[in-house]
Amino acid sequence: MSPQVLKHPGLNLGPAHGKDDVAAESMMFGFWVFLMSDAILFGMVFATYVTSVQATAGGPGTHALYDLKSAFIETLLLLASSFTFGMASLALKYKHSKSRLIGWMILTLLLGMVFLGFELHDFSSMFAKGGVPSRSGFLSAFFDLVPLHGLHVAGGCLWLICLAGQILRYGLDTGTKLGIMRLALFWHFLDIIWIAIFSVVYLGGLT
């Protein structure tokens, strides 16, 4: 185990990265604080969902709308993307070749986009069964929570593309390194939110 205290959440670059490691401290702390604020945002949306889940107003409910298999596949996709992002972080920290780093990033991006594809497919099949957000308080709450997470993932994908662009343009300078590290926090954080979503929404809804 390395003796030094970890400076910030997420994979620390370590002293081998010199000034980038120093610059990371307040930047990563700041981003982590933002994520905590975001966590409260999700918490409130979860609270809305939990207290609205019975408010179907005669419309379709959880059993009629949710698809366990699809939720399971989405979970695996996100989990895999968390792992591939971890590999990208390692490639950054241990200064592997740029192409290896970008390779892991592209893999993560693909997993994220497939996840979004599955999610959109879920939504459209819910729409087909009459599960539109304006149908009931329950569906409104659902379409607040799950697409909010989806929007975050979409934002993460866009950020991933921009970071790849920055790497190609500037190489691995302080800016891109800190960008990848922040996005890593963001990505893993979204995976944690997803754990809550599949447990509360899908599994809880299908018991």
- Within residues 21-60, the interface with another protein by CB under 8 A covers 25-26, 29-30, 32-34, 36-41, 43-48, 50-57, 59
Query: Is the CB of 16 or the CB of 120 nearer to another protein?
Result: 16
Q: Which amino acid is located at 205 in the chain?
A: G
Tokens of 178: 């800190």
Query: 173 to 202, contacts with another protein by CB under 8 A?
Result: 173, 175, 179, 185, 188-189, 191-192, 195-196, 198-200
Conformational region of residue 66, where left means phi above 0, alpha means psi within -120 to 50, and beta covers everything else? beta
Residue 19 touching another protein (CB under 8 A): no
Distance CA 193, CA 135 (A): 26
- In the complex, the smallest distance separating the C-beta of residue 128 from another protein, rounded to whole angstroms, is 19
Torsion sign over Cα 130, 136, 139, 143: positive
Q: How many residues bind another protein (CB under 8 A)?
A: 89
Distance CA 45, CA 26 (A): 29
Region from 100-108, 111-119, 123-131, 172-180 binding another protein, contact rule CB under 8 A: 172-180
CB of 108 closer than 8 Å to CB of 187: yes
Give the SS3 label for residue 67.
coil
Q: Which amino acid is located at 153 in the chain?
A: V
Query: Is the CB of 125 or the CB of 173 nearer to another protein?
Result: 173
Residue 204 touching another protein (CB under 8 A): yes
CB of 52 closer than 8 Å to CB of 141: yes
Region from 103-111, 113-121, 123-131, 140-148 binding another protein, contact rule CB under 8 A: 140-148
- In the complex, the smallest distance separating the C-beta of residue 123 from another protein, rounded to whole angstroms, is 14
- In the complex, the smallest distance separating the C-beta of residue 207 from another protein, rounded to whole angstroms, is 5
Binding mask 79-98 for another protein (x = CB under 8 A): xx-xx--xx--x--xx----
Residue 103 touching another protein (CB under 8 A): no
Q: How far is CA 84 from CA 80, 89, 94, in A?
A: 6, 9, 15
DSSP-assigned letter for residue 17: G
